[in-house]
Structure 1
């Protein structure tokens, strides 16, 4: 790449060089901020990875623990129906999604890449593949003119959902939405499910946070469009692929709510604008993991801007000020300068992190082996079945303990406080002054 630049004519090279110098104040701050944001991105990826493993184990254990207590004639207790009314007396019920290995079955969907009946194969499947949104299918309707299937999953930010108690204002709005659609069914005939993002493996892999609505629908591939993502999926006879879109709230774009003029965009109205408009879901692009990760990175950067207001916060404000001065608020150049910086910084952070994971335990072992001997410190070592141990300090605090059958011990101090104990049957004590 750089060799081809040197092959250019000298006037053109000078033009490129002066163009770089002139625009340096503009793209330097995005590049510098991108280096900082790359470290934030690396920390987010690492934390999410370990959190998803812990949450997967937690979700599976919770579901398995609750199954024996479930009613054999109803749904398992691990996925109980949630009352959607405050008093719990009205018949508005939806099912929660808990088990990360069977959540798609609750929606009436099929997956042909995972056999849930094969326990041996299930143990060898990568954990994150259970939350894949690119391998979902639904049986095609018998009638060719049937309407596409639609469904919504509400992702709640609340920690726990208790009957009669709504801990979040968005949960209250969702409760009103369910009551509204009980009297006024959705135009597409969509149903609802509930998902709590607190310690949720699914929310970790989908890189979403409540409140959000996940829209599921069946779509047919377009044979004329070679770049259609659905054409890349495996074609299953008698089944249609399912496409997922994530709609996060609050809706920041004023054009997205599609509310009548003069209607206040309350929490309930925002939710209803998505579920009541039959074509509203088409305003959002299908699920893309990198797009969701970038949203979570933006959330982390917003927090870092406030937490480190004197450093990163000032640099970010300087970048915005320069863009406003040059009238380039909507220009793609800041992103073009930021992306390679994020990739470079996150890559270096990941390499250093993996290197530290390899070096740190070995450095600790070497320190324990050589440094403690240099300081005349003998570390505690297990002796005889791991029950006996000995520690020697200076003369004033020297003591030892042996795990003998009669549990004899001895401690020597100075002459005034010297005493000893013999572990005989009557646990006699003896002290010499």
Structure 2
């Protein structure tokens, strides 16, 4: 099943789950037959019940060790041998052979017709063959019976009915429940699909708006330069500097939007189990602050870092760098010219590290600490002059939580934003 499709693997897993449930359910029936047969002093019937009990217990054990094919073959095979033997050593009035009907249904429930066809057919034919053999010989293959007809009629027949109807009704009830759960799962999957579709539509609407602004600026100033050059007009150094600065700023904003979209898309398509290691907070922070050096210089922002070079956290360095990038980018965008951004790191209760980003911007509005992490939520900046698509903080929180940490926003500060990145402290710190 290594090369099977996800749907085929899911179907097989479901059949394995059925087997695990059924074998546990029928084991008490086999043990009850064993006790009853010993009480009746029916040696061959006791042997048959012992074979069934041992086979079912072996099936449970094999399932526990993930030997699922062997488990199903063993317990269904043992059931065939046990019921077949019991049918031939008890009078027809006990109706033992009718239990073979339930056993014949088992392979169609426990095995996949696509990947386990041989076992399905083989273990489906055996009980049918044993039933016809029992019918043809009148349950007298060995010539004599261990119990009388009256005992078979008054004791074995009711026990057979309880076993047969109990098993069949349990199968029906289990399938009804499984069907109901599957229907619920399908409904939830449909709702998730609709939510994903709406999220994509919202992303496209937000992206189209946010990307058009810097694109128009880039193309507009490039056209000015092109038109002046084509007309032969002399362009002053100040004009070139002004136009090129606008183009660089707009292209930087556009690049950040595209990078966030790629990060968001990569997260959505990957398993949320990153490879974590002991990493230095400062080593992950340094390339991020270096990347924003020109942006800090353009807005004359002062960056104050107070992070111990020896401070280590357990994290994925790529994801940690992405978290720092998202938060520092927001701090630069929303801080006014000449402001200050500070980054401090401290150990909390000897277990976690709190990396605090503070800026001198307007801060988060009151009671927005939760909704700020909702995808595409821009906290009233949808029509503002600050670019973005509203996925930076949600993406950063998703990365942090996947690494065993969290991100907390202080929304009770009158001036400036305070964002805490909390991650596990590396052992030995």
Higher normalized contact order (CA 8 Å, seq sep 6+, divided by chain length) = 1
TM-score in terms of structure 2 length: 0.26
More helix by share: 2
Structure index of larger Rg: 2
